[in-house]
A and B are shown apart, each in its own frame.
Chain A
Amino acid sequence: MPTFVLRRLLRLVPLLFGIVTLTFLLLQLAPGDFLSSALENPSFSPGAIDALRHRFGLDQPWYVQYGLYLKNLVLHFDLGLSFSRHEPVATVLGECLANTLLLTASAALVTWGLAVPLGAVAAVRAHSWLDRGLSWLAFVWLSIPELLSGLLLLMLAARTGWLPIGGMRSLDWDTMGPGSRVLDVARHLVLPALVTGLVPLASRMRQMRASLLDVLRLDYVVTARAKGLDEPAVVLRHALPNALNPLITLFGYTLGALVSGSFVAEIVFSWPGLGRVTVEALLAQDTYLVLGGVLMASVVLVLGNLIADLLLAASDPRIVHES
Chain B
Amino acid sequence: MNPEPRGPAPGPGGRAWRALRRNPPAIAGAAVLAVLGMLALFAPFLAPYAEDAIDRERFYHPPQRVRLEDLSGRFALRPAVRATRLADPQRFAYQETSTIQPLRWFVRGDHYRLFGVLATDRHLFGVDAPARVNLLGTDPSGRDVLSRLLHGAQVSLAVGLVGIALSFSLGMLLGGWAGYLGGRVDDVMMRLTELLLSIPALYLLLALRAVFPADLPSGQVYLAIVMILALLGWAGLARVIRGMVLSLRRAEFVTAAEALGMSRLRILVRHILPNTMSFVIVAATIAVPGYILGEVVLSFIGLGVQEPAASWGNMLAQARSLRVLTSFPWMLLAPGTAILVTVLAFNLFGDGLRDALDPRAVPGRASR
Give me the interface of A with B, judged by CB distance under 8 Å: 14-15, 18-19, 22-23, 26-27, 29-31, 139-140, 142-145, 147-148, 151-152, 154-155, 158-159, 165, 257, 259-260, 263-264, 267-268, 275, 278-279, 282-283, 285, 287, 290, 293-294, 297-298, 301-302, 305
Contacts and interface: CB of A to CB of B under 8 A. Distances in A.
Contacts of B206: 278-279, 282, 290, 293-294
B201 A154 contact: no
Interface in B283-304: 289, 293, 296-297, 300-303
Contact of B210 (A18, A154, A282): A282
A223 B300 CA distance: 57
Contacts, number: 126
B322 interface: yes
B207 A263 contact: no
Contacts of A151: 316, 319-320, 325, 332, 336
A148 B340 contact: yes
Given A147-B297, A287-B210, A298-B198, A260 B203 contact: yes
A263 B200 contact: yes
B276 to A, nearest CB: 25
Contacts of B199: 19, 22-23, 294, 297-298, 301
B221 to A, nearest CB: 14
A277 to B, nearest CB: 11
Leading 7 A-B pairs by shortest Cβ distance: A260-B200, A158-B325, A143-B344, A263-B202, A297-B203, A18-B195, A155-B325
Contacts of A158: 322, 325-326
B303 A283 contact: yes
Nearest to A158: B325
Given A143-B340, A263-B200, A15 B208 contact: no
Interface residues of B, number: 42
B210 A293 contact: no
Contacts of B204: 294
B320 to A, nearest CB: 7
Contacts of A165: 322, 325
A23 to B, nearest CB: 6
Contact of A19 (B198, B293, B322): B198
Contact of B208 (A26, A264, A267): A26
B104 interface: no
A148 B339 contact: yes
Contacts of A31: 212-213
23 contacts: A15-B195, A23-B207, A27-B207, A30-B211, A144-B343, A148-B336, A148-B339, A151-B325, A151-B332, A151-B336, A154-B320, A158-B326, A159-B326, A165-B325, A260-B203, A268-B320, A275-B202, A282-B214, A283-B301, A293-B206, A297-B203, A298-B199, A305-B198
A147 B325 contact: no
A268 B332 CA distance: 13
B339 A279 contact: no
Given A148-B339, A293-B203, 13 more contacts: A15-B198, A26-B211, A31-B212, A143-B347, A145-B289, A145-B343, A151-B332, A155-B325, A159-B325, A290-B207, A298-B200, A298-B203, A302-B198
